[in-house]
A and B are shown apart, each in its own frame.
Chain A
Amino acid sequence: AQSVSQHNHHVILSEAASLELGCNYSYGGTVNLFWYVQYPGQHLQLLLKYFSGDPLVKGIKGFEAEFIKSKFSFNLRKPSVQWSDTAEYFCAVNGPGGYNKLIFGAGTRLAVHP
């Protein structure tokens, strides 16, 4: 069965530090990959997505992610985090059923200290 692994469950950083959150998926076929974010007290929302083309995708608020097919990875990065980036981040992949049926990872809770 298809699955998504997020290696870091909790990450604590100081402002201006660089961020990289790991995400690996298990599926050998064509995949579409996503990062969603849930800010405190807000709805879960799409941060960025990869369908095809350039494996380096850029999302909102300065986030980017790189799809490395050989490593089955889709890591999320940001060069310099801000306190407002404190949130929970979820990696997701489309399931075998397609049609927006996403499989989510366990999430990574990021805390950024001023």
Chain B
Amino acid sequence: DGGITQSPKYLFRKEGQNVTLSCEQNLNHDAMYWYRQDPGQGLRLIYYSQIVNDFQKGDIAEGYSVSREKKESFPLTVTSAQKNPTAFYLCASSGTGYTGELFFGEGSRLTVL
């Protein structure tokens, strides 16, 4: 089945620790995205990558980092610098051309204790 796999689904971390969320896609899509979803605020773009070895900051990139070493993978690191990391994180991808259609993963819920 083609799709986007995010792991872990649930993650707990202590304050001051970095944590990395995995996102893998087998859709052969060039572009990948990370969004943060908070109640009442919708989805906000953290980082996006249009092609391997390239990525751009979204609207709320502070305290996060990403890499795009492979087409199918776009991991997100939530660093200790992120002031309010508890949230639901969604990874998405899109294919060639501008269609506006993003394909989303199931999400990862991060809770900082």
Contacts and interface: CB of A to CB of B under 8 A. Distances in A.
B15 interface: no
A49 B101 contact: yes
A103 interface: yes
A43 B100 contact: no
A45 interface: yes
Contacts of B103: 43
Contact of A32 (B4, B42, B58, B100): B100
Contacts of A99: 31, 50, 98
Bin chain B's interface residue count: 20 to 34
Contacts of A32: 98, 100
B90 A100 contact: no
Interface of B: 4, 31, 33, 35, 40-45, 48, 50, 56, 58, 90, 92, 94, 98-106
A36 B87 CA distance: 20
Bin chain A's interface residue count: 20 to 34
Interface of A: 4, 6, 9, 32, 34, 36, 43-46, 49, 51, 90, 92, 94-95, 97-107
B90 A44 contact: yes
B102 A104 contact: no
21 contacts: A4-B42, A6-B42, A9-B40, A32-B100, A34-B100, A36-B102, A43-B4, A44-B102, A45-B104, A46-B102, A90-B42, A94-B100, A97-B56, A98-B98, A99-B31, A100-B98, A100-B99, A101-B48, A102-B102, A106-B40, A106-B41
Contact of A106 (B4, B42, B45, B98): B42
Contacts of B43: 44, 90, 104
